Amino acid sequence: MSFEAKRCGVQFTPPSIVLIYEHKETKHVRKRIIPVRNFSKYSDYSMAAERLKNHPRHRDYLEGVSQSQLEKLHIILRNHMQGFSLEHSMASFRLDPDEDLNKLDDDELARKKGQMDELFEKNRKRKDDPDFVYDLEMDFTKTAQENCSWDDESDDGF
Amino acid sequence: MACDVGSIPELDQKKYDSDEQVKIICLGDSAVGKSKLMERFLMDEYRPQQLSTYALTLYKHTATVGNKTVAIDFWDTAGQERFQSMHPSYYHKAHACIMVFDVQRKITYKNLASWYKELREYRPEIPCCVVANKIDADLKVTQRSFSFGKKQGLPFYFVSAADGTNVVKMFREMIKRALDYKQNPSDFMDEVMQELENFDLEKKENNSDEDGLKAQSPELV
């Protein structure tokens, strides 16, 4: 790979993905503005992200940018087209531990799950990992002592 | 309709009466990792069967317990949990229940109380456990003790669907308990249902007319 992606963001007008990257050989840092075409407030962001990731003219530059980040950037663009603020978009990605996710619609829930998946994938042990153990057991009964603050309020059934 | 709780056309829940068929249900809030746990346990066997009309996903598993081979259906919610309540057919004939919460989100722990309450309305006696998932996010949580379920004597597991900690152990123990329960059911309602079914069959054999008294799925008969 001769390009190293440094940062990736969006520009609203015209709708574009902005990439700051370093040319590995020359060590030059450059900015690449990739216009997002055929993308409206009704478009499927994950398809659009995939299309961009595989675009013959851009794919070499975007190799170091994950599909999920590109999806996120497309969501921000689409939200903007739908009239939502950047603040709103950012909040929808943030994980609020007190938020009741049961109340979200499919799309919003998928975004939160996408956020959670990042940690899941990071900590995931796969079958072909050398230290993979199918039946991994750990005994926590000796360590569990401290009472949990989540039990403080005396709700019914707790 | 009122007594038609087992009615899912694609699924004849009567099969769960046979000795080799086990039904285990999962309960818990959205995004606590119920499907991820199934996936980690089943690995290559993981072939979810979506019944989207019922917001339901089924996973089939074959286990050998002692010298017996049993077919286990794991029932997982596919969004139905968002209504904060499950359709009665979800609980119908279940032999065990796995309740899951996310150690990173208190609300999912707090909501266990309402899940448990609903479970017990339909299945007062089936074995149940409490599963604290995502301990990989912060191992320190395992030093805390979560008291929900202690009073009821529910087993508690710290697990991680990501790195696999205690997932297989938990599922194996629950399968075992589901089988034990099946061999020795203590739910009064089970017996009543069984009686009603027998009664129903007798009636049919005597080919008298058969209004009412059908415990489930009349259209499947």
CB atoms within 10 A of CB A48: 22
Q: Which domain holds residue B195?
A: 187-221
**Residue B142 sits in the same domain as residue B201:** no
The reply to whether residue B106 touches residue A125, judged by beta carbons under 8 angstroms, is no
- Residues of A within 8 A of B161 (CB-CB) are 120
B25 lies in some domain: yes
- Residues of B within 8 A of A98 (CB-CB) are 105-107
**Residue B136 sits in the same domain as residue B200:** no
- Residues of B within 8 A of A101 (CB-CB) are 29-31, 105
Per-residue pLDDT of A64-105, as tens digits, reads: 888 888 988 999 999 999 999 998 888 888 778 888 888 888
Give how many domains chain B has, as a whole number.
2
Beta-ladder partners of A19: A8, A32
**Residue B141 sits in the same domain as residue B164:** yes
Per-residue pLDDT of B171-216, as tens digits, reads: 999 999 999 998 887 665 555 566 666 665 555 555 544 444 444 4
* CATH code, B148: 3.40.50.300
Apex A151 CA angle, A145 and A155, nearest 5? 150
**Residue B107 sits in the same domain as residue B69:** yes
Query: What are the DSSP calls for A51-105, one per residue?
Result: HHHT-TTTTTTTTTS-HHHHHHHHHHHHHHHTT--HHHHHHHHS--TTS-GGGS-
Residue ranges per structural domain of chain A: 3-93
Q: How many residues does chain A have?
A: 158
From the list A100, A120, A137, the residue facing B36 with the nearest CB is A120
B3 lies in some domain: no
CB-CB contact of B61 with B42 (8 Å): yes
**Residue B130 sits in the same domain as residue B192:** no
Strand, helix or coil for residue A127? coil
User: Is this complex's ipTM strictly greater than 0.90?
Assistant: no
Per-residue pLDDT of A44-55, as tens digits, reads: 988 999 999 999
Interface of B with A (CB under 8 A): 29-31, 33, 36, 43, 79, 81-82, 84, 104-107, 109-113, 116-117, 136-137, 142-148, 158, 160-169
**Residue B122 sits in the same domain as residue B214:** no
pLDDT of residue B45: 86
B124 cis-preceded (ω within 30 degrees of 0): no
**Residue B119 sits in the same domain as residue B220:** no
The reply to whether residue B31 touches residue A98, judged by beta carbons under 8 angstroms, is no
B2 lies in some domain: no
B4 lies in some domain: no
Per-residue pLDDT of A117-156, as tens digits, reads: 888 999 999 999 999 999 999 998 876 577 777 887 655 4
Q: Encoding tokens for residue A19?
A: 């990439």
The alpha carbons of chain A give a radius of gyration, in whole angstroms, of 21
**Residue B83 sits in the same domain as residue B24:** yes
**Residue B162 sits in the same domain as residue B65:** yes
Return the residue of A nearest to B80 by Cα: A102
Write the Ramachandran bin of B142: left for phi over 0, alpha for psi from -120 to 50, otherwise beta.
alpha
**Residue B102 sits in the same domain as residue B57:** yes
Q: Encoding tokens for residue A55?
A: 């675009």
The reply to whether residue B107 touches residue A100, judged by beta carbons under 8 angstroms, is yes
Interface of A with B (CB under 8 A): 97-104, 106, 109, 112-113, 116, 119-121, 123-125, 127, 132-138, 140, 143-148, 150-151, 155-158
Return the residue of A nearest to B139 by Cα: A140
**Residue B110 sits in the same domain as residue B201:** no
- Residues of A within 8 A of B117 (CB-CB) are 157
The reply to whether residue A147 touches residue B31, judged by beta carbons under 8 angstroms, is no
B57 lies in some domain: yes
CB-CB contact of A39 with A14 (8 Å): no
The reply to whether residue B144 touches residue A138, judged by beta carbons under 8 angstroms, is no
Which range of B57-61, B131-135, B217-221 scores highest in mean pLDDT? It is B131-135
